[in-house]
Amino acid sequence: MTTHLTPLFAPEGVVVIGASRQSGKLGAAMARSLAPFPGARALVNARRPEPDEGVYASVAEAAAHTDGRLDLAVLCVPAAGCAQALAEAAAAGCRAALVCAGGFGEAGPEGEEHAEELRRVARETGVRLLGPNTSGFFAPHLGLTASFVPAAGQLPAGDIAVVAASGGVNHALSFDLVAAGNGISLGVGIGAGLDVDAADVLEHLAEDGRTTAVALHLETVPDGPRLVAAVRRVAAVKPVVALVVGRSDVGDFARSHTGALATSWRTTRAALRQAGAVVVDDERELVDALTALSRVQLRPDPDPGLGIVTAQAGPGLLLADRAGTDGIRMPELAATTQGALSELLPPLTYQRNPVDTGRPGETFARVLATTAADPAVDLLAVYALTEPDSVDLASAAQDAGLGADSPAVVVVGGLPEDVAEQRARLHKAGIPALTGPASAANAVRALVTHARQRALRGDGPAPEQAVAPVPPGPLDEDAAKTFLAGLGIRTPDRVACDSRADAHYALRLLGGPVAVKVLDAAILHKTEVGGVHLGVRTPEELDAALDAIGPGRRCLVEAMAPAGGDLVLGVRRDPVFGPVVLAGLGGTAAEALADVAIRLAPLSAADAASMPDDLAARALLDGWRGGPVLDRAEFGRVVASLAAALAASPDTAEIEINPLRLTADGLIALDAVIVHTAPPAEENDHA
Amino acid sequence: MTTHLTPLFAPEGVVVIGASRQSGKLGAAMARSLAPFPGARALVNARRPEPDEGVYASVAEAAAHTDGRLDLAVLCVPAAGCAQALAEAAAAGCRAALVCAGGFGEAGPEGEEHAEELRRVARETGVRLLGPNTSGFFAPHLGLTASFVPAAGQLPAGDIAVVAASGGVNHALSFDLVAAGNGISLGVGIGAGLDVDAADVLEHLAEDGRTTAVALHLETVPDGPRLVAAVRRVAAVKPVVALVVGRSDVGDFARSHTGALATSWRTTRAALRQAGAVVVDDERELVDALTALSRVQLRPDPDPGLGIVTAQAGPGLLLADRAGTDGIRMPELAATTQGALSELLPPLTYQRNPVDTGRPGETFARVLATTAADPAVDLLAVYALTEPDSVDLASAAQDAGLGADSPAVVVVGGLPEDVAEQRARLHKAGIPALTGPASAANAVRALVTHARQRALRGDGPAPEQAVAPVPPGPLDEDAAKTFLAGLGIRTPDRVACDSRADAHYALRLLGGPVAVKVLDAAILHKTEVGGVHLGVRTPEELDAALDAIGPGRRCLVEAMAPAGGDLVLGVRRDPVFGPVVLAGLGGTAAEALADVAIRLAPLSAADAASMPDDLAARALLDGWRGGPVLDRAEFGRVVASLAAALAASPDTAEIEINPLRLTADGLIALDAVIVHTAPPAEENDHA
């Protein structure tokens, strides 16, 4: 395959511009790292050329001596000289370049000028530029180490690619992946991302046959929709596991590092998840997830079942406990499976799932195969300490047929050298080997998440919902609710009243109790100005409420909704990702905990229906204390309609339903606010 | 040192009873594992004795041939024969025994009989018995491997002890600790715990000079107060890091494994924390915590400051993000420190904390020393990829004086062999080496938690609070509140009313609005029977409320409290740990999330004052939306008094204040329920 990044990541030839002889210098380190590259190779040192040793005075001269095969230029010159060097490299035929140094965007006005020049040369010449401010990249298959970290050259080739915002993290993740028994297909640190960014590299990886799974590390997102499209493209063909920085407020340091504002952590994670990435919490979880996903995957399934076979009950219990906490289903094994197991195992062990083998013996492989074959088991997790005189775990796992066709993760406990030996054999057989219960639980969670997300994506993209746009506003509560009702969202019976007489008529019409609320699009927080009166039953109470609201004000008289749990649902425009939906539970505790589910809009009703299950306090929606159960399908339809409405209404900044009440009869919007971006009334006047 | 477990864990001689020649058998495995033991050693095989090879027909004969030095008997006989074998061993002079086999408590009535016999023999002979249902223990310093897992014999000696509920977990944790560059002083799997339990081993370890830190793994707690006392005793002299199983519902499998009911996960963790243990979430965190705590500790400090020095900004950002999420304080460095750093580092790097060195050079050691010396830095975390040509991290850390006197954790990134080399040198110098940002963040959290907990314990035990016991009787709300008021807890002004006239008098006395509630100790859920009427202002409204409550019923007329956040506070008796305090926030979301802080009672006001900070939604207590801020000291006094009251009242099962309202003027108990264990009125009659 060839992509527009092939000259960068798979060049025919490489030239180091600014190759130094001083061993501490960047140019010298780069020249050393690139020395083993088997393709064309040249160094440029304007001050000390030695053409006999492949050190030339200029890139043009270097190109002439290498039949023009130098398509990648590695620039080891100061920031001020980079643009000029890039122009010369482009003129000499280079089509890609790497700039490692700092001193650009993060370094004040002068640095920004250098960055601007460099960006201009790249744009004008069409050279694809990685960096600046990165330690580079490596492609072990090609013997290509364009990094100044010496050990990078010893990373074994394999099938996991790393795309990291930071050069240091690219190296750290690659070393971690290798320590866990994996190899690397390509490792890239984006750095400042003046030209090539994470989305570009992801698009390249979608085409890269060597890569079976991708690690993605993000600090900032310059272009949300482009990143989402790129992740979606890769995730459609191979797993993407993503780690996003910025859960806590590390803004200051992060800005110093990247020269850019941090994106909202929650929204970025939600967007990546929706695009098909498996999102993890730290780099260990990332390594565990990739160790598993690069070797085995489950079929798309909304709720895969986990079987556990353990040779030692205690560690198996740790694993089962973690899997249970993560919401992984561990089905009881079928009677036939239990029957077959009872013939293979001593009578006293637990055999329903987890399957506790006791000290494993010669039947171990058959126990694994039997459990994996249970119809309710979609994934098998195996734990055993290495005990060479009782069982050879790697052989047993292979004998049981575990691997791509029978997805499993295997934990081998024991001394590091024993574990490494078993792991190498398991990996060779395509069976992921993990390092302990927590590590296996991470792998299980990643495999299950991947299967669940693909089941969801199976519903396809959001259907084009033909909805009327939000009318020009400002819209008061009555108008907002009328619009919602047009979307098929239930609202209470109500009468908008211009006078006291109207209000009394409304009370008679609706019967008591009613809610009486001030009706004025300019008032966003009605309660705070005494504009909301609930449980009004009698004409006297109504008069009192109207007096409190103030003479001459319009009001809304509305049937009271039955009691129930409250949700908050909103659609708005995220500055990075565009339209998003947010759903949470009502009440201050949910708010204080930021217990909120986020999706990019538009989205399908099926995708939206899964939002409540993201909420930590979701138990409140599932018949809490005998209360109603949220109909996920109804919720999904409400969300999808709201999201479609925002998409259809370019002048609308935000639509919020708060509260959206969960009643025994379904969802009902008790209050609604629609905010416009511009004063559309005025625009309308001009139309 | 000698403890009553010395014959078990440091015997002069060992005898294997039931030593087999069949290599797959337990007795053969044990004989092999114990072969390298340098003390006295004998095997007993009644069917095939070979005295010339040290295999005797009976334990008495074995003892006679070894000058009676066999103080530990390892029993490898079936469950049915264990009691008899133990009796013989005791008669031959053994003072300790290990039984690995299963077939006891977990194996139905017959097994329980075997267990009972075994327990009886142990009690009668005074032999200390480890097991059954464990893979044993190991003491690498002594060359003693009483485990049938072959690799256990190769665990290096060191200073971390493992006390695990499960033999498998003992081995797994020990292997994990060793893989992280540590050694083991003693590793014990408790198993069924017929005699020796975790508390016994902990008490032994408190005296064991070789052990500098302890790993504790718990599945069940047979005796809460004894465990707490043992943990307290060890934690006073060396760090204890505890992992508790049972976060999810793994009851069925757990019971099959241990033959016992799982203890409440939350309460067990709270009890361990209060006793001084650092409680972790999984075995990786346990290893990270012990790798750090066995080498360095911070001074007791309620809020230690973390300094970070990183050679690569990206991984440093991952570490800072995690530390920030964990609530670790990262102070900005002093101006003098920043000044000193600016002379050591290039101008463009971030130097306020984290300190980003850029590619490290010869000044790296001085950067470390300078940052560590900052007055606000109590702990330094260092990240660097191995780059042999730029810096030798282990040497730099030593040159900077990091270690016991200048606590630090160091992450070395790189190829496994490079990392292992650096780690070995760091560990030799007493500096904990971790494997990545997540691992370092775990270590930092453990060190900080340990320092915080010791600062809290510095306040000493709960002072004996002289409080009046709860009066007998079922107590109605008025009586319960009067009792609380006697403890110094604020309650609303109120009048208990026997008649309608009383109630009208109370309304006049208190002024409106008042709360009117049915007053009857037999009604626990007043709201549900229509017994609560809030905001009553007029005589008419009062009459309506009294009508609804029902004619002839007593009622409580009470001043309404100002609005504010609500807490729930209760003291009750836990079946395992005895009196406990539970505090949470009001509202269903907090309840659905089980967001609750737990402490054992009695406790000091200072310890209780830290409870609100355990709550995930604690932001609600700290001036949420301009609301009041909870006075932690006042809260601590309320909790301590309530806990003392329960301790002083043996007949009281539970006292609950719900809600305990947080107002601008402090805390006020709006409702209270006191539940007695027995019908004390009747008891009283007999008194």
User: How far is Cα A338 from Cα A263, in angstroms, rounded to an integer?
Assistant: 51
Q: What is the pLDDT of residue A108?
A: 83
ipTM: 0.93
CA distance B563 to chain A (A): 14
In chain A, what residues touch B189 (CB-CB under 8 Å)?
Answer: 314
B584 touches chain A (CB under 8 A): no
User: How far is Cα A413 from Cα A416, in angstroms, rounded to an integer?
Assistant: 8
A505 touches chain B (CB under 8 A): no
CA distance B617 to chain A (A): 6
- Report whether pLDDT(B681) > 60: no
Element (H, E) at B607: helix B605-609
Cα torsion angle, B437, B438, B441, B443, sign: negative
Cα torsion angle, B236, B241, B246, B247, sign: positive
Question: Which residues, in sequence order, are CB contacts of B617 under 8 Å at separation 6+?
Answer: A588, A589, A592, A593, B585, B589, B590, B593, B595
Half-sphere exposure of B189 (CA within 13 A, CB side): 34
The tens digit of pLDDT for each residue in A570-619 reads 999 998 999 999 999 987 777 788 888 999 998 989 889 999 999 988 98
Name the H helices within A535-618: 539-549, 588-592, 605-609
Residue A66, phi then psi, degrees to nearest 5: -125, 30
Enumerate residues 408 to 447 of chain A having a beta carbon within 8 A of any beta carbon in chain B.
413-416, 418-419, 435-439, 441
Cα torsion angle, B354, B355, B359, B362, sign: negative
Q: Which residue of A has its CA nearest to B25?
A: A390
Average pLDDT, stretch B86-105? 93
Element (H, E) at A483: helix A477-486
Average pLDDT, stretch A16-25? 86
**Please, what is the Cα angle at A447 between A446 and A451, to 5 degrees?**
115
- Report whether pLDDT(A468) > 50: yes
Q: Which residue of A has its CA nearest to B585?
A: A589
Average pLDDT, stretch A535-563? 92
Q: What is the overall mean pLDDT for chain A?
A: 92
Q: Which residue of B has its CA nearest to A355?
A: B253
| Domains (range + CATH), chain B | 1-133 (3.40.50.720), 134-294 (3.40.50.261), 306-457 (3.40.50.261), 493-559 (3.30.1490.20), 565-680 (3.30.470.20)
Of B168, B283, B413, the CB nearest to A313: B168
In chain A, what residues touch B257 (CB-CB under 8 Å)?
Answer: 313-314, 317, 350, 356
User: How far is Cα B447 from Cα B449, in angstroms, rounded to an integer?
Assistant: 6
Give whole-number Cα distances, B216 to B282, B451, B466, in Å: 12, 19, 36
User: How far is Cα B186 from Cα B207, in angstroms, rounded to an integer?
Assistant: 13
Residue A227, phi then psi, degrees to nearest 5: -60, -45
User: How far is Cα B562 from Cα B506, in angstroms, rounded to an integer?
Assistant: 19
Q: What is the pLDDT of residue A258?
A: 44
pLDDT band at A680 (very low <50, low <70, confident <90, very high): very low
CB B241 within 8 A of CB B286: yes
A585 touches chain B (CB under 8 A): yes
CA distance B302 to chain A (A): 21
Structure tokens at B504: 């009208």
pLDDT band at B387 (very low <50, low <70, confident <90, very high): confident
E-state strands within B452-554: 494-497, 514-518, 532-536
User: A287 versus A391: which is more confidently predicted?
Assistant: A287
Query: Which of the residue ranges A466-475, B523-532, B613-622 would you say has the lowest mean pLDDT?
Result: B523-532
Q: With 0-12 CB in 10 A as exposed, 13-18 as middle and 19+ as buried, what is B112?
A: middle
A474 preceded by a cis bond (ω within 30 of 0): yes
The tens digit of pLDDT for each residue in A488-515 reads 999 999 999 999 999 999 999 999 799 9
Taking each helix axis from N to C end, the angle separating A79-91 and A108-125, rounded to the nearest 10 degrees, works out to: 10
In chain A, what residues touch B440 (CB-CB under 8 Å)?
Answer: none
The tens digit of pLDDT for each residue in A403-456 reads 999 999 999 999 999 999 999 999 999 999 999 999 999 999 999 999 999 998
Query: Which of the residue ranges A80-89, A200-209, B340-349 would you say has the lowest mean pLDDT?
Result: B340-349
Average pLDDT, stretch A214-230? 95
B266 touches chain A (CB under 8 A): no
Average pLDDT, stretch A191-220? 96
User: How far is Cα A556 from Cα A519, in angstroms, rounded to an integer?
Assistant: 6
pTM to 2 decimals? Answer: 0.94
Q: What is the pLDDT of residue B679?
A: 55
Cα torsion angle, A41, A45, A51, A52, sign: negative
Average pLDDT, stretch B534-542? 92
Q: What is the DSSP letter of A541?
A: H
**Rg, chain A, Cα only:** 31
For residue A492, the one-letter residue type is P
User: How far is Cα B353 from Cα B308, in angstroms, rounded to an integer?
Assistant: 6
Of A29, A325, A387, the CB nearest to B150: A387
Average pLDDT, stretch B335-359? 90
Query: Which of the residue ranges A64-68, A246-250, B299-303 would you say has the lowest mean pLDDT?
Result: A246-250
- Report whether pLDDT(B683) > 50: no
Element (H, E) at A644: helix A632-647
Of A23, A178, A439, the CB nearest to B389: A23
Taking each helix axis from N to C end, the angle separating A167-179 and A283-293, rounded to the nearest 10 degrees, works out to: 50
Of B166, B284, B419, the CB nearest to A436: B284
Q: Which residue of B has its CA nearest to A384?
A: B168
Q: What is the pLDDT of residue B354?
A: 95
CA distance A457 to chain B (A): 29
The tens digit of pLDDT for each residue in B461-514 reads 566 678 889 999 899 999 999 999 999 999 999 999 999 999 999 999 999 799
Q: What is the pLDDT of residue A679?
A: 55
Q: What is the pLDDT of residue A257?
A: 47
Q: What is the pLDDT of residue A687?
A: 37
Q: What is the pLDDT of residue B464?
A: 67
User: A526 versus B170: which is more confidently predicted?
Assistant: B170
Q: What is the pLDDT of residue A20?
A: 84
A602 preceded by a cis bond (ω within 30 of 0): yes
User: How far is Cα A74 from Cα A137, in angstroms, rounded to an integer?
Assistant: 11
Q: What is the overall mean pLDDT for chain B?
A: 92
Q: What is the pLDDT of residue A563?
A: 82
